[in-house]
């Protein structure tokens, strides 16, 4: 399946930041490591990484949204999701789909969110995944973190 969304930037639109994408992927990895392997240290690390990027008052709530997003993905997945180690360079295909889901949510494109979610976890019940994606995308935007997936950069 290919996602090739044409895009024309709008005046005054926030600019995506590759550093934000890397941060989002690292926090996602930390949340999944805790959920998949019971590694609570990864949750602490994820919160410390967030603390370097967002106001202190936003760290707990935003990490909670990453946690809820990860739980929703795991619950809906038709197959086990991969969990890359934090220092892994680049983004795997699953992480690119996560970024695509968040980008489409931040752009107000629900069909794009559902398409990427279906490619990531399967086409079963995506309601909880959609809600968790929307909540995380809003939380990231409130903190000034806007992402763009490598899928849509082509």
In a domain, 52, yes or no: yes
Counting the structural domains of the chain, the total is 1
At residue 123, φ and ψ (nearest 5 deg) are -100, 20
pLDDT reading at 3 higher than 50: no
At residue 28, φ and ψ (nearest 5 deg) are -60, -45
In a domain, 7, yes or no: no
pLDDT reading at 16 higher than 80: no
* pLDDT (average), residues 25-36: 94
In a domain, 150, yes or no: no
In a domain, 149, yes or no: no
pLDDT reading at 86 higher than 90: no
In a domain, 11, yes or no: no
CB 129 within 8 A of CB 121: yes
In a domain, 107, yes or no: yes
The per-residue pLDDT for range 37-73, each reduced to its tens digit, is 888 899 999 999 999 999 999 999 999 999 999 999 9
In a domain, 120, yes or no: yes
pLDDT reading at 153 higher than 90: no
What residue numbers bound the domain in which 108 lies? Answer: 18-142
| pTM summary value | 0.85
In a domain, 129, yes or no: yes
pLDDT of residue 5: 34
pLDDT of residue 17: 60
């Amino acid at each position: 399946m290919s996602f090739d969304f044409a895009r024309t930037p709008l005046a005054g639109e926030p600019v995506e930041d590759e550093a934000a994408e890397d941060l989002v992927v690292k926090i996602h990895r930390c949340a999944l490591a805790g959920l998949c392997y019971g590694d609570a240290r990864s949750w602490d690390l994820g919160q410390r990484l967030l603390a370097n990027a967002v106001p202190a008052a936003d760290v707990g709530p935003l990490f909670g949204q990453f946690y809820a997003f990860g739980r929703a993905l795991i619950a809906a997945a038709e197959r086990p999701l991969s969990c890359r180690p934090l220092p892994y360079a680049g983004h795997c295909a699953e992480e690119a789909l996560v970024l695509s889901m968040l980008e489409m949510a931040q752009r107000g494109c629900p069909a794009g969110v559902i398409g990427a979610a279906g490619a990531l976890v399967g086409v079963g019940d995506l309601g909880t995944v959609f809600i968790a994606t929307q909540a995380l995308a809003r939380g990231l935007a409130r903190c000034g973190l806007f992402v763009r997936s490598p899928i849509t950069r082509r």
